[in-house]
Amino acid sequence: MHEEIDAYLQHLTVIRGLAEKTVEAYGSDLLFFREFLTDLGGSLGKVDEHTLFLYMVHLRRKGLKNTSMARNLSSLRGFFDFMVQERLLDSSPAALLDSPKLVRKLPEVLSREEVTALLNRPVMNVRLGFRDRTMLELLYACGLRVSELVSLALPDFDPQAGLLRVLGKGSKERYVPLHESAVSLLLAYLQHWRPLFGPKTDTIFLNRSGLGLSRQGVWKLLSRYALEAGINRPVSPHTLRHSFATHLLEGGADLRTLQILLGHSDIMATEIYTHVQSARMAALHRKFHPRS
């Protein structure tokens, strides 16, 4: 299976453009399956549903949780589909195998009041404070991932069009609109405050040394500002991304538009926010309905 796995991973990298870490995860899953198949004395051409069922039992005995089981099965499905596509197999043995049922955990979302309190924490008359306020504003205004935020470079901002060019997962490019106050804030930061950092790179957001900020640095800053804002639960950059999506839906945005703005390749990933919205409505109903 070694050559077939290598060919599949190359297909994921070159043709599908998946991120390096994603391809590594697929490769790790497939190599683990190859070891199982070798111990079983089987071969690729003889793999059937029963073989895969035994493998799922093997994974369960290893103590894997449903999420890891589902990822392993997803890796196998993709691999066998590729084998069929390349005419190395007649049919996929994984086609009819059911994934373990997953309990979808609803993402943490800030209220509009909490977002406002958080954005107001940085002190605006010093370079670090103005930088931090601009970063928080962009995270919430655009629903950016932290990796997307720290990789933003000067050519990615078009102030006239009010757009950011964002490089998402798998190096997929998308354009995200900015509201007017976010454009004004970013322009002021770039013109008046960023030069004070002594830039050594074209990355938009810089640390004290004039180099690009790290993801960990953004996490620490956000956690500190959240505590100062009186938010007594964990807040991450993804919390602002979740809040962006939920607040847009509450304002009347449709799922397809939200999918494009978030850079989701599958709308199933976006549908989680409809569950967030439903859960919040149910909580409000229980709290305020006179018969509750």
> Within 10 Å of residue 289's Cβ, how many Cβ atoms?
8
Q: What six digits make up the tokens of 267?
A: 């709308």
Which residue from 283, 271, 284 is spatially nearest to 107, judged by alpha carbons?
A: 271
- Supply the residues annotated as catalytic: 145, 169, 238, 241, 264, 273
Handedness of CA 253, 256, 260, 266 (dihedral sign): positive
Phi, psi of 182 (to 5 degrees): -70, -40
Q: How far apart are the first and last CA of the chain?
A: 60
Which residue from 130, 150, 159, 148 is spatially nearest to 241, judged by alpha carbons?
A: 148
Handedness of CA 45, 88, 172, 267 (dihedral sign): negative
Asked if residues 144 and 270 have their Cβ atoms less than 8 Å apart, the reply is no
Spatial distance between the Cα atoms of 211 and 184, rounded to a whole number of angstroms: 23
Asked if residues 205 and 135 have their Cβ atoms less than 8 Å apart, the reply is yes
Residues 6+ apart with CB under 8 A from 97: 49, 52, 53, 56, 73, 77
Q: What's the maximum distance between 2 C-alpha atoms anywhere in the chain?
A: 69
